[in-house]
Amino acid sequence: RAQAQTLKIAVLLPQSGYLAQAGQSCHRGALVAPQVLSDLGYKVELVHIDMESNPDVARTQTERAINEGAHCIVGAFDSAGTLAIAQVCEQRQVPLIVNIGAAPQLTEQGYKFLVRNFPTGGMLVKNGLHQIQALIDATKIAPKSAVFLHANDNFGLAQRKGMDALFPKSGLPFKLLESIPYDPKAQDLSVEVTKIRGLNPDLLLVVTRAADAIKLVRDTVRQKFQPMGIISPGAPGLYDEEFYKALGPLADYHIDALPWANPKSKVTQALEAAYTKAQPKFRFAVECFNVGFTFDALMIAGDAFKRAGTTNGPELMKALKDTNLADHVMIGGPIKFDEKGQNNDIPSASVQNRNQTPTVVLPAEVATMTPVLPMPPWQGRK
Amino acid sequence: MLNVENLSVHYGDAQALDGVSLAVDEGAIVAIVGANGAGKTSLIRTIAGMHRPTSGRIVFRGTDIAGLPSHRVCDLGIGQVAEGRQIFPSLTVSENLDMGAMLPHARPHRAQNRDRVLAMFPRLSERIGQAAGTLSGGEQQMLAIGRCLMGEPKLIMFDEPSLGLAPTIVHDVLKTICDLNAGGMTCVLVEQNVAVSLKIATRAYVLENGRVTLSGSGADLLADERVRQAYLGI
Amino acid sequence: MTAITLNIVVQGILTGLVYGLMALGLSVIFGVMRVVNFAHGEFTVVAMYAAFLLFDMLGVSPLVSLLPIAVAFFFLGYVLQRSLVEPFISRAEHEQFILLVGLATVVVNGLLLIFGPDAHPINLPYSFDSYTVGSLFIDKVRVFAALGAFAICIALFLFFRYTRTGTAIRACADNLTGAGVVGLNVKQLYAVTFGLGFACIGAAGTLMATIADASPGLAPAYTLLAFVIVIIGGLGSMAGALVGGVLIGISEALAGFYIQPSMKSMFSFALLIIVLVLRPQGLMGRRL
Amino acid sequence: MIDIWHRLPMRGKMLCLAALAAAIAAPLVADRYLLSVLILVFYFAYLGQAWNLLMGFAGQLSLGHALYLGLGAYTATALWTLFGIGPWIGVFIAIPVAAAAGMIVGWLGWRFAIEGVYFALLTIAFAEFTRIGFDHLQITGASAGLFLSVNSPGSDKWWNLGGGPLLYYYLALILAVAATLLVAWLRRSPLGYRWLAVREDPEAARAAGIDIFRAKMIAMLISASMTAVGGVFYGFYYRNLFPSQVFDIGRSIEIIMAPIIGGLGTVFGPLVGAILLTPLGESLTALMQHFGVNTPGAKSIFYGLTLMVIITLQPSGVWPWLARKLGLDRPRT
Amino acid sequence: MTALLSINGISKRFRGLAAVSRVSFDVSQGEIFAVIGPNGAGKTTLFNMIAGAIPPDEGTITFAGTRTDGLRSDQIARLGVGRTFQLVRPFPALTVEDNVIIGALMQTKTVRDAETIARDTLARLDLFDKRTQIASSLTLPDRKRLEVARALATGPKLLLLDEVMAGLRPTETDRIVATLRDLNRDGLTILLIEHVMRAVTALASRILVLHHGAAIAEGNPEQVLRDPAVVESYLGAESL
Ligand SMILES: Nc1ncnc2c1ncn2[C@@H]1O[C@H](COP(=O)(O)OP(=O)(O)OP(=O)(O)O)[C@@H](O)[C@H]1O
Ligand SMILES: Nc1ncnc2c1ncn2[C@@H]1O[C@H](COP(=O)(O)OP(=O)(O)OP(=O)(O)O)[C@@H](O)[C@H]1O
Ligand SMILES: [Mg+2]
Ligand SMILES: [Mg+2]
């Protein structure tokens, strides 16, 4: 049998259903990837599949994709969907590269055909707390207290667990007054904000879903509550286009400590150029988290294929495990996976919204601006 | 005035009327008698357009009204005082009367008709703002008749107007019907009270299991041995 | 009562009134036709998008577009009833259910297809303002929306109480056979009722758009919320919808504040279960 | 049992046997994808039978069956991950847990005369209530989810329900066939007759000496128990559980689609419905992919439209119509 | 003869309307007892109370030595009281045979036996040929017979029949009368409401006349039908 010249990758993303917003954002990254990858010498062919935010669909569609010749799967933004896919990949010995998915269990359940180039909830929090310390050092603020607000879903709770474990050991110079979970299906956050206002913390640490971040800031402004800053240890919401559209100047100065595209990387620049051309309606600066991780996942696949020289699952997987990819989009050292398939070196940057654009402010070597804290008061921002 | 020709009606698979024909002349009182479930109500509902016949014609003053929706039939001038009165219990008496006059042809004369009805049933004007569900049975029957008159019908079909009423009130109701008829109204009367309805009817039909088995003048039927045995218990 | 508790309660009442308005459309349609509109939340979101479009393209404030959207929704409801729902009026509940769930799926995914998954906000000059009363902060948009909800509810009440069409619709709800007997055009009145229910949905969605950002994902949550509210208040009762909304608003606010925000809807459902068991017709409903 | 078999017309017997043989032999020809679709078909057929028992036979509309599904799934998987108690034992604990929940819902509903839409909303309320409760239940991982270890090929272990698709395929097939037989048998049992009486006219059923509360409670008991078994299957098939997924109202709706579209209150309806609907969704996806359409949501629009068309054209479901076409319905004079 | 059913001063009001007031009577084992009276006199309400469909406001009902007031209708049915409904209520979507099997299942545990009972009963009521039809497609007289069949199949000691002859032709009436007589001869006690005097006189050994909820006469047919009060309020409707 003639050896395939290109690697066929099925990209499963929740393009409809309740995760559609993030899924479509990742999808845009996947759309521009083949061209950029081919310029970089990787030969991949993509099949785009909508998993409808539904694990049942994720599972059958993975089976179908593999039947129709997919050599490798990339997906699926959401942990439940990813796990459904992982079952199939494991059975069929087809590698799964997780683009985004923070549940620690993904790499703790013994999957042999799964690698993840994305931090676990705990890693995100750990890095996030480091970034907060760095922010305090850089801006010389002296917060005395903080409140942690998180969505009570699988992503939020993973972060919460990280927070509970790591905050006491972090040596941060403020007190964590309370951790407040909220129901992501609930319709407004005014009670939550009132409760926070009552606690009156200096910092507000949040883990939100996209639409909730808007509600949160809006109610905070309306209730005239003015913290020093709103900082997230790596959650979506604070840097989405809809966030900027909804809040305008009030969207500025919030900080997300999360892995980010490295503006100084050649690959990033190439991707940005291609993306800007292909998706004129979207800003790379805003989308680079989803786009970047999705792209990197595809590149990891392409790279492994190049080295393995075969589309055979186990061999491809072996090559994946040996990945050592220095040039990639997201900041951090070379991409490597441990024996569980986890990349442990995915540092976070501090990204602050400035002029309604997420801007890297820390670490200094990749920063394009310096952080501003405490954030300017809500009033007079217009 | 009204000619029913060979009318058949089904509820699902069940046949309720089987080729019924009858004629109602202008100014007459036509009685339809028959046992429970014989199909009397079905006949009335079908004429009134509340149920589609499977076959047959219903000609009212020259137009075939079979299959027309009930609001069209009412607007042509066929009024109905239905089985069980069918008033609107949570609406006031006044609102109930208004509902009778929603028909396009009757709308302009709402005020006059209302005065006429209230003059006819003074009891109703005493209770004009009361919820109709709180009226006594007899009053409800008056309201049902009054409401029907608000629609300026040329023909009224009464379905068991005396049902559940005390004998004295039954008397009142039947007298009202006779009075209306005396004033020129054509009436179709369905009554359990066979003896009385045959007595006041100009013409009568006996309905059995969805078929007309006997017809004739009221007096003829009253004298008919079969009728006496089956319906009068004599 | 501390200032914060008071503030929470006031917020709860305002939010509840808007929720109540949102549930009103469901209640009107059920009260008259006994049809449970399982696509309720979906159409609320459609109205939110309509408000967004008018604002985004023509700069019309939702408080102004309220009327045209409500009118447009009236016709939408009217047409839907005449074309789709009419044959299902006397059919079994589960058949209506499938029809409306199918419709809901089409609507939600249609929105996704047309507008994409992102939330679409309406930024009014006063979106972020609040009134300060003593130590209370009361959101301006919530006040407007609550007042709007109240006004619409009163308008609807007056319509049902004092107009002839309104009376005729009540008559249909009261005694359908009776309505046929006196020659009311029941089909038409049903369509009008469906239209009115939809006008409520349109108005509620428009007001909702000032508080929340339109996105397809909201729809199922709105449907569920509306159910909870009308069952508590009494399916078919207009005042009940507002009362139910306010009760839910307050109970969620208090539970969220004193117990735990993520558990607040649990209390709504608990309240629903208790009401169903003790008073199945709802707090303001007539006997079943 | 044998009695039912004899009642079937010859053609029906042949069809049944042929279908069963085909289902058993399917893995010989079907690829893994087809198999995974068939697993869903039988899984939904099974759950549809469970729901059909309560709604189609006893006439009680439940829109909250996700409650029993979730309780079954959570009980068995938690027993396995926390205490190492395998699913074959766990299922016998999952069943009473879900049945108890069903009893509570039924008792509250029917003792207080809650009927129809109101009962349906009560069931939704319970499912949602439980969902949020599980979002906070730390022992099962709360909203972060509950996970089972991976299923590697060659590690097929039927005793802990871990393995390849064949295991799940035959399990789902057995469940669906067993449920269908159970339902067919119950339909012809005194209990089945009582349920039908309750569904048709509760007052007249009483006059025939039927304790309608009891009849409904038994229906709920069986239906919830069967659904719980489906939940155990779900838990071990997907190997991860999140309250927001498994208790979701969307699950409850998914469960009831097949029996309604197939034919409520018929023995074969849920089976036919599942055979129609699951592949319908799949083939829509495949078709759109084939034509290179990548518009998220378009598939669901077609799916929704199809539901509307079917229910408008065949309100009592596809099976009664199909049975007539195939000449399989019992002759009536 | 012992009293199988004994009614003692029962009353029922509906929102102020006294549908039944202080009615007392006994039905002996093995007799046919008729209740007559004008429309709305309270006959059906009386039946509903005996069958347990509605609870009496006051008074006691004793059936075969057991107090039954306050029991649910299904409990009373299991004690041996079968009933029909004036507005017939067969199980509409089921076949005739299934309808009767449901009744028969009260006597027996197995469907097979119930089927045998059902077929016997159907044969007795001339419905055997129609046993595979769907109940809702029957004509009214057939549905009435089906009601009787279902009630009979429960194997009652006492059968309550609410206007089962209404709407039947004289020949059909005679057939049912004969059937009922047969059943009675086999030991069944029957309590019937009837407007068709021909049937009442043919069957009843005693008659109770209700008027406006109250019993105005009770006794054997000759006496009662000649009672002036009865003639005035019920029979002599020719007095307008
Ligand atoms: N909506 C319906 N669905 C099915 N069958 C019906 C319906 N309405 C009436 N029937 C049946 O049609 C037949 C005729 O009924 P109808 O009500 O016309 O009789 P009726 O002569 O008015 O009797 P009554 O004296 O009791 O009022 C009966 O067998 C009845 O059971
Ligand atoms: N559930 C109820 N609610 C209110 N009133 C009722 C109810 N049932 C019966 N009634 C009233 O009680 C009175 C007696 O009714 P019942 O049905 O017992 O009369 P009946 O003697 O059987 O008459 P018919 O010969 O017409 O069947 C009537 O006035 C009736 O309207
Ligand atoms: Mg009648
Ligand atoms: Mg009666």
Residue D240 lies in a domain: yes
Q: How confident is the model at residue A2 (pLDDT cuts 50, 70, 90)?
A: very low
Q: Which ligand is nearest to the CA of E42?
A: 2
Q: Which 8-state DSSP code applies to residue A104?
A: G
Mean pLDDT over C276-281 rounds to 83
Q: At what angle do helices D32-52 and D212-238 cross, to 10 degrees?
A: 160
Asked if E18 has any chain B CB less than 8 Å from its own CB, the reply is no
Helix (H, G, I), strand (E, B) or coil at B89: coil
Q: How far apart are CA A70 and CA A66, in angstroms?
A: 5
Query: Is A61's Cβ below 8 Å from some Cβ in D?
Result: yes
What CA–CA distance (Å, rounded) separates C215 from C209?
10
Q: Per the domain annotation, does E227 fall within a domain?
A: yes
Contacting residues of D for C110, CB less than 8 Å apart: 297, 301
> How distant, in Å, are the alpha carbons of B2, B31, D295 from that of B65?
10, 21, 52
Q: Probe ligand 1: pick from B7, B9, B10, B11, max atoms within 8 Å of CB?
A: B11
Q: Per-domain residue ranges for chain C?
A: 3-278
Q: Which domain holds residue E32?
A: 3-80+156-171+180-239
- Is E19's C-beta closer than 6 angstroms to any atom of ligand 2? yes
Closest CA relative to residue C92, chosen from D192, E88, D59, D249 = D59
Backbone torsions φ then ψ of C234, nearest 5 degrees:
120, 110
Contact of chains A and B by CB distance (3 or more pairs under 8 angstroms): no
ipTM, interface predicted TM-score of the complex: 0.89
Minimal Cα–Cα distance from D122 to chain C, Å? 6
Closest-CA residue of D relative to E107 is D209
Residue E129 resides in a domain: yes
Q: Which domain holds residue D142?
A: 2-326
Task: Indicate if E9 and E128 belong to the same structural domain.
Answer: no
Six-digit token string for D172:
């789902």
Collapsing DSSP to helix, strand or coil, E159 comes out as strand
For residues E74 and E20, membership in a common domain is answered with yes
The residue that leads in pLDDT, D291 or A208, is: A208
Q: Any chain D CB within 8 A of the CB of C118?
A: no
Is residue E191 within 8 Å of E27, Cβ to Cβ? yes
> What are E146-173's pLDDT values in tens digits?
999 999 999 999 999 988 887 666 677 7
For C110-164, write each residue's pLDDT tens digit: 999 999 888 888 888 888 888 888 888 888 888 998 898 889 889 988 999 899 9
Tokens read off for A10: 């099925």
Residues sharing a CB contact under 8 Å with residue C59, sequence separation 6 or more, in sequence order: none
Q: Is residue E87 part of a domain?
A: no
* Closest Cβ–Cβ partner in E138, E169, E237 for B208: E169
Percent of chain B with pLDDT over 70: 94
Q: Which residues of chain B are within 8 Å of residue C179 when distances are taken between CB atoms? A: 88, 99
What pLDDT does residue B145 have? 92
State the pLDDT at residue E234. Answer: 64
State residue C121 phi and psi, 5-degree precision: -90, 155
Residue that the structure tokens 């003074």 belong to: B122
In this predicted model, what pLDDT tens digit does every residue of E5-17 receive, in sequence order?
999 999 998 877 7
CATH number at residue E26: 3.40.50.300
Confidence band for B214, pLDDT divided at 50, 70 and 90 = confident
SS3 B54: coil
Instruction: Label the pairing between strands A145-151 and E66-67.
Output: unpaired
Pocket test for ligand 1, best of E88, E136, E140, E164 (most atoms within 8 A of CB): E140
Percentage of residues of chain D with pLDDT beyond 70: 95
The Cα-based distances of C221 to A18, C226, C230, C265, D152 in angstroms read 11, 9, 14, 11, 38
Interface of D with C in 19-38 (CB under 8 A): none
| Residues E193 and E219 grouped into a single domain | yes
Q: What is the band of B230 on the pLDDT scale with cuts at 50, 70, 90?
A: low
Chains C & D: contacts with CB separation below 8 Å? 123
Report the range of poorest mean pLDDT among A8-17, C276-285, D191-200. C276-285
Show residues of chain B in contact with E235, CB under 8 Å. 233
- How many other CB atoms are there within 10 angstroms of residue E124's CB atom? 17
**Residue at E88 is within a domain:** no
- The token duo for D155 is 């590690």
Please name which ligand lies nearest the alpha carbon of B210.
1
pLDDT at E240 (0 to 100)? 33
- CA–CA separation, C70 vs C91, rounded Å? 28
Cα(A299)–Cα(A265) distance, rounded to whole angstroms?
14
For residue E34 the two structure tokens come to 């008729």
Q: How far apart are CA D99 and CA D106, in angstroms?
A: 10
Over 60: is that where the pLDDT of E235 sits? no
Render pLDDT for B24-61 as a digit per residue (tens, 0 to 9): 999 999 999 887 678 888 999 999 998 999 999 999 99
Query: D199 to chain E, minimum CA–CA distance in Å?
Result: 9
The model's pLDDT over C4-39, given as tens digits with 9 standing for 90+, comes to: 888 888 888 988 988 898 898 898 898 888 888 999
Asked if E195 lies within 8 A of B37 by C-beta distance, the reply is: no
Q: In whole numbers, what is the pLDDT of chain C averaged over residues?
A: 89
Helix, strand, or coil here: E21? strand
Q: Which of A116, A373, A333, A348 is nearest to A235 (CA)?
A: A348
- Looking at the structure, tell me whether residues E71 and E165 fall in a common domain: yes
- What distance in Å separates the CA atoms of residue A343 and residue A354, rounded to the nearest whole number? 30
3-state secondary structure of A344: coil
Q: Looking at chain D, which residue has its C-alpha nearest residue E88?
A: D204
pLDDT tens-digit readout, B108-153: 999 999 999 999 888 888 889 888 988 877 888 889 999 999 999 9
D190-200 vs E96-104: helix crossing angle, rounded to 10 = 110
> What percentage of chain E carries pLDDT values higher than 70?
93
- pTM, rounded to two decimals: 0.91
How far is it, in rounded angstroms, from Cα C108 to Cα C113?
9
Partnered with residue A349 across adjacent β-strands are A258
Question: Looking at per-residue confidence, does B234 or C62 come out higher?
Answer: C62
Which H or E element spans position C136? Answer: strand C136-139
> What is the tens place of the pLDDT at every residue in C221-250?
899 899 889 889 887 788 888 899 999 999
The confidence score (pLDDT) of residue C90 equals: 84
B162 CA to middle of ligand 3, Å? Answer: 12
Closest alpha carbon to B78 in B137, B138, B2, B167: B2
CA distances from C268 to C212, C252, D65, D103 (A): 20, 7, 20, 22
Residue C119, C-beta contacts closer than 8 angstroms, at least 6 positions apart = A21, A210, A211, A214, A242, A246, C213, C214, C215
Between β-strands A145-151 and A175-182, what pairing exists: parallel, antiparallel or unpaired? parallel
In this prediction, residues E179-195 reach a mean pLDDT of: 89
- Token look-up 């799949």 returns D282
Would the CB atoms of E166 and B35 count as touching at under 8 Å? yes
Chain C residue with minimum CA distance to A215:
C212
Contacts of D245 in chain A (CB under 8 A): 55, 80
Per-residue DSSP letter, A3? P
Estimate to the nearest angstrom the gap between the alpha carbon of D43 and the chain centroid: 7
- In a shared domain, residues E161 and E148: no
Residue C13 to residue C207: CA distance in whole angstroms: 16
Count other C-beta atoms under 10 Å from residue D84's C-beta. 8
Confidence band of A1 (pLDDT split at 50, 70, 90): very low
Closest chain B residue by Cα to residue C182: B100
State the Cα–Cα distance between residues E7 and D330, nearest whole angstrom.
47
Residue D332's pLDDT band, with cuts at 50, 70 and 90, is: very low
- CB neighbours of C41 closer than 8 A, spacing ≥ 6? C104, C218, C219, C220, C221, C222, C223, C224, C225, C226
- Are D98 and D230 contacting, i.e. CB atoms less than 8 angstroms apart? no
pLDDT above 50 for A247: yes
Q: Do E124 and E12 reside in the same domain of the chain?
A: no
Judged against a pLDDT cut of 50, whether residue D331 lies above it is answered with: no
Whether residues E56 and E165 share a domain: the answer is yes
Apex C267 CA angle, C265 and C268, nearest 5: 65
Residue type for position C184: L
Taking only the tens place, the pLDDT of each residue in D276-323 is 999 988 888 888 888 877 788 888 898 899 989 999 998 888 998 998
**A305-329 pLDDT, tens digit each:** 999 988 899 999 999 999 999 999 9
Indicate whether residue B164 lines ligand 2 (CB < 6 A).
yes
Q: Which residues fall within 8 angstroms of residue B209, CB to CB, at 6 or more apart?
A: B18, B38, B39, E139, E140, E141, E167, E169
The values of phi and psi at residue E33, to 5°, are -120, 130
Give E196's contacts in chain B (Cβ within 8 Å). 35, 230, 233
Q: What is the pLDDT of residues A51-71, one digit of tens each?
A: 999 888 999 999 999 999 999
Q: Is the pLDDT of residue C288 over 50?
A: no
Q: How far is CA D290 from CA A8, A23, B94, D283, in A?
A: 16, 21, 66, 10
CATH of domain C3-278: 1.10.3470
pLDDT at E237: 45
Residue E67: exposure state from Cβ atoms within 10 A (0-12, 13-18, ≥19): exposed
Any C CB within 8 A of B129 CB = no
Distances (CA, A) of B29 to B64, B182, D234, E124: 22, 10, 72, 44
Task: Tally the domains of chain E.
Answer: 2
**D29 in a domain, yes or no?**
yes
**C68 band by pLDDT with thresholds 50, 70 and 90:** very high
